[in-house]
Structure 1
Amino acid sequence: MGHTKEQLLDYLKEHGICFESYEHPVVLTVEAQAKHIGHMEGGHSKNLFLKDKKHRLYVVSALTTTNVDLKVLSQRLGLGKGGLRMAPEEALKDVLQVPLGCVTPFALYNESARSVALLLDKGFKAQKCVFFHPLSNDMTISLTTDDLDKFLMSINKEPAYVDLEATVPVGKEQLPDLAVHVPTEVIILSNISQQEVINDIGSLNISDRESEISRLKENANPKPKAITKVNNDKKGTNIVGSTASATNVGNLVNSIIDTTSAAILSEITEDAVKLHGKDLGPIVAGAVRKRLGPELESLMMLLKNAAYTQGFTAGIGSRSLQIN
């Protein structure tokens, strides 16, 4: 679970970051927000949450009056004309961990979002102050860009202000001017569809496709964590071998995700993409089911037995999980 609005505001105060807050009804659009604070002097913002074909994520924050052409921005990032699209709702929930309508630079306060790239409108610098939702769309806060920068630096995020309306030629002799801002980390969502991965990889040219498949395989952990013995920590019992308790739900989930990801990516080869094309999805699904079925059944039985003998709670706060 991500941080709350109250936690963020306390953090700003603790770090000497000055701001003014304005409460209002929940709003989902820039237009709805403007009905409550649009009369205030300063830079009002619109914020986009985007992904590229390699599953890297971006937050683009701009003045509401700035024209952001995604095709041009995509080229300037070195992603080609159609390299950017809106990020899926799952990424909003799992990575930024904010509700719909709450995408702002402050979402990067959540640890899960630290690898998301942030591009800020150069036009913000000319404003007396800038306005953003503080993780919740029932409030807007205003602060200077100096204080915004102070916040970003405090979470180890270098502020990047760019001219989002610039038309910069990109070619063999002119490298993409914003390529330096492309994130180095790839975030593969736990519930991303197999077909989406296949489609995204299939849309690359042959040489890029092979390197992308290799990179994704390296990203996945081929060793199931469920059978690796580790030490216990203060948070509880971690996953251990079959002779001990398997009571850490988070680690078990990560193990399933890692194992499944590795299995899927091992089936997606360049030859397989060429041979099966759009029909590769069902073929990969069948192979992964056959390969992982027995292993996951054993893992679930281990978890079930541990739960029966010890009982356990997991999750965040006071939420508990009971296995019957």
Structure 2
Amino acid sequence: MGYTKEQLLSLLQELKIECSQYEHPVVLTVEEQAKHVGHMNGALTKNLFLKDKKQRFYIVSALAETKVDLKVLSQRLGLGKGGLRMAPDEALAEIIQVPLGCVTPFALVNESARNVSLLLDQKLKTQECCFFHPLSNDMSIALNSHDLDKFLSSVGKTPAYVDLEADSTIGKDQPPDLAGLVPLGATVLPNPPENKAPSQGPEKTPISVNNKPTVVTGISVKSSDASEKEKSRATANSPIAFADPEKFVEEILEKTVSTALSGIKQHIEKDPEQLSITLSNHMRKQLGVQLKFIATMFKNTAYTEGFRAGNHSQPNKW
């Protein structure tokens, strides 16, 4: 479970980072965002979530008017002309853990995004403040580059500002100028959900990005059941799952049971008469945040169906 909007705003407050907050309806494009905050003091930004052929991920954060040519950027990173492309939807949930339309540098607060490389438009530094979504696209916050750097440093990221519009000629005498920003390690995504179809060969076991062993206290679980549950969790957080009402309900039930067991374990030794009250409070506090995230994913998925229907291809130049 990644950070929520509320947790991020709380972190910014702890870091003494001042930012203006503007709530608005869910938006999926810079043009839609501009209708609500374009008249405010601050520059609009666009944020791209990219991947290369070796499963390394990148966030490119730039001013809305900055042109980002993926072919040129790919060459400058030393990846060849076609080395960069838009990251798949499942990477949103598995790697940076944000809903559709919510990619920003703030996603790097999540531990699962520790290997994601961040490229910042150097023009961000010329603005008094810039707008970003705080992990949720029903709000925009405005802050300056100094405070953005402060946040990034707090999560172990060194800010890297580059000229994204530079058309550098890469050759024998001029090596890729951004090669140092390529992540060192690849990130393995679990296999996407399989559609029911005739078997074409041996079944492959899904690989989970979570390499830590799962510890279950007080409940005996067979290895096969644990494997199925892990597979379920891997696919349930994918945006694809949120388009399926049955999987949506399954995810809610799983979160509810998990939260209830956690509350019982923590409070079972307390006064039995107060257990129901304590458990109720625990459920409301812990489950509320999780269900809000799930509901946001479901809402954004439903909202984007019509939008995506009219966009069959993703341009390589903005």
Q: TM-score, normalised by structure 2?
A: 0.64
How many Å apart are 1:315 and its aligned residue?
A: 6.3
| Alpha-carbon distance between aligned partners in 2 of 1:104 and 1:149, rounded to the nearest angstrom | 13
How many Å apart are 1:169 and its aligned residue?
A: 1.3
Q: Paired residue for 1:80?
A: 80
Q: Paired residue for 2:150?
A: 150
Q: What is the RMSD computed on CA atoms of the aligned residues?
A: 3.2
Write out per-residue CA displacement over residues 139-167 of structure 1, whole angstroms, 9 at most, x where no aligned residue.
00011111100000000011111000001
| Alpha-carbon distance between aligned partners in 2 of 1:315 and 1:11, rounded to the nearest angstrom | 28
The verdict on how the C-alpha distance between 1:176 and 1:106 changes in structure 2, with shifts beyond 3 A counting, is same
Q: Which AA in structure 2 matches 1:66? A: T
| Alpha-carbon distance between aligned partners in 2 of 1:143 and 1:191, rounded to the nearest angstrom | 38
The verdict on how the C-alpha distance between 1:248 and 1:104 changes in structure 2, with shifts beyond 3 A counting, is farther
Where 2:44 maps in the other structure, the secondary structure is strand
Contact preservation (8 Å) 1:5, 1:135: yes
Q: Paired residue for 2:108?
A: 108
Q: Which AA in structure 2 matches 1:48? A: L
Q: Paired residue for 1:32?
A: 32
Write out per-residue CA displacement over residues 14-53 of structure 1, whole angstroms, 9 at most, x where no aligned residue.
1111111000011111110000001123221001000000
Write out per-residue CA displacement over residues 246-276 of structure 1, whole angstroms, 9 at most, x where no aligned residue.
599489838xx9xxxxxxxxxxxxxxxxxxx
The verdict on how the C-alpha distance between 1:182 and 1:127 changes in structure 2, with shifts beyond 3 A counting, is same
| Alpha-carbon distance between aligned partners in 1 of 2:49 and 2:96, rounded to the nearest angstrom | 9
The verdict on how the C-alpha distance between 1:238 and 1:178 changes in structure 2, with shifts beyond 3 A counting, is farther
Write out per-residue CA displacement over residues 213-240 of structure 1, whole angstroms, 9 at most, x where no aligned residue.
xxxxxxx99xxx99xxx8x96x63799x
How many Å apart are 1:56 and its aligned residue?
A: 0.3
Q: Paired residue for 2:94?
A: 94
Q: Paired residue for 2:187?
A: 187
Q: Does 1:253 align with 2:235?
A: no
How many Å apart are 1:188 and its aligned residue?
A: 1.4
The verdict on how the C-alpha distance between 1:181 and 1:250 changes in structure 2, with shifts beyond 3 A counting, is farther
Where 1:189 maps in the other structure, the secondary structure is coil
Q: How does 1:193-272 map to 2 (within 5 A)?
A: 236=217, 246=223, 249=226, 253=230
Where 1:102 maps in the other structure, the secondary structure is coil
Where 1:43 maps in the other structure, the secondary structure is coil
Q: Paired residue for 1:43?
A: 43
Q: Paired residue for 1:67?
A: 67
| Alpha-carbon distance between aligned partners in 2 of 1:248 and 1:13, rounded to the nearest angstrom | 42
Q: How does 1:110-125 map to 2 (within 5 A)?
A: 110-125=110-125
How many Å apart are 1:192 and its aligned residue?
A: 5.2
How many Å apart are 1:110 and its aligned residue?
A: 1.3
Q: TM-score, normalised by structure 1?
A: 0.63
Where 1:118 maps in the other structure, the secondary structure is strand
Number of equivalenced pairs: 227
Contact preservation (8 Å) 1:238, 1:246: no
| Alpha-carbon distance between aligned partners in 2 of 1:250 and 1:109, rounded to the nearest angstrom | 28
| Alpha-carbon distance between aligned partners in 2 of 1:128 and 1:94, rounded to the nearest angstrom | 33
Structure 1 residue ranges (4+ consecutive) displaced by more than 6 angstroms after TM superposition: none
Which of the pair has the greater relative contact order for Cα pairs under 8 Å at 6+ separation?
2
The verdict on how the C-alpha distance between 1:23 and 1:80 changes in structure 2, with shifts beyond 3 A counting, is same
| Alpha-carbon distance between aligned partners in 2 of 1:320 and 1:13, rounded to the nearest angstrom | 27
| Alpha-carbon distance between aligned partners in 1 of 2:189 and 2:225, rounded to the nearest angstrom | 20
How many Å apart are 1:109 and its aligned residue?
A: 1.1
Q: Paired residue for 1:133?
A: 133
| Alpha-carbon distance between aligned partners in 1 of 2:96 and 2:225, rounded to the nearest angstrom | 24
Unaligned residue ranges in structure 1 (runs of 5+):
195-219, 258-313
Q: Which AA in structure 2 matches 1:15? A: L
Percent identity, please.
58
Q: Paired residue for 1:8?
A: 8
Bigger radius of gyration: 1
Q: How does 1:278-293 map to 2 (within 5 A)?
A: none
